[in-house]
Amino acid sequence: MSTRHLVIETRLGPVTLVAKGEAITGLYFRHHVRRPAQEAFGPEVTEPADRLLSEAARQLRQYLAGERRNFDLPLAAEGDAFQHAVWEIVKRIQCGDTTTYGRIAEELGDRALAQKVGAAVGANPLCVFVPCHRVVGSHGSLTGYAGGLKRKRTLLELEESADVSAGRLF
């Protein structure tokens, strides 16, 4: 099956999940910075009609309810080699943890890449699934999030409170 999408209601507002073939390629909020044109999402499908998008919706709902810490979905973000390198590092940030753009730049070998890292994090088409909300400013400040700082704060608070009951999360 080609590119298609599903819109679900969440505590963060409507979320558009996009899939191409057998992989999730996007997670976008209504007023998402860098949200592609609607026609790039392909036709809208219903939840029961698409197994992959239904599973992505189920896992996202579990995460937002504090019942899931990690996602088990086939992901395929479109981006350049540098963006993919950054997103691979972001994927490894554990639920409840944060890192900085500078630390990611250092991991890539050059602290001077921090702004370029910020641009790559901001271009992440799989926010939440690839947890770019866990990347913060150099002194822990909440800087930039394609879904808006209010959502970033909500996601970090959700993960912080989930740590208290981590025994029931997977």
Type of residue numbered 130: V
pLDDT, tens digit (0-9, with 9 covering 90-100), for 124-156: 999 999 999 999 987 777 777 777 789 899 999
Catalytic residue list contains 127: no
Residue 165: the pLDDT is 46
pLDDT, tens digit (0-9, with 9 covering 90-100), for 94-135: 999 999 999 999 999 999 999 999 999 999 999 999 999 999
Strands 99-100 and 135-136: parallel
Domain edges within the chain = 4-64, 81-168
Residue 168 pLDDT > 60: no
pLDDT band at 163 (very low <50, low <70, confident <90, very high): low
Residue 128: the pLDDT is 95
Render the burial of 131-143: b for 16+ CB within 10 Å, e for the rest: bbbbbbeeeeeeb
3-state secondary structure of 114: helix
Residue 167 pLDDT > 60: no
pLDDT, tens digit (0-9, with 9 covering 90-100), for 5-62: 999 999 999 999 999 999 999 999 988 888 898 899 999 999 889 999 999 999 999 9
What's the Cα-to-Cα distance from 44 to each of 19, 23, 38, 148, 163, rounded to whole Å?
11, 16, 10, 24, 35
Residue 138: the pLDDT is 77
Tell me what the mean pLDDT of segment 60-82 comes to. Answer: 95
Determine the topology of domain 81-168 in CATH. Arc Repressor Mutant, subunit A (1.10.10)
Determine which one of 15, 53, 132, 136 is catalytic: 132
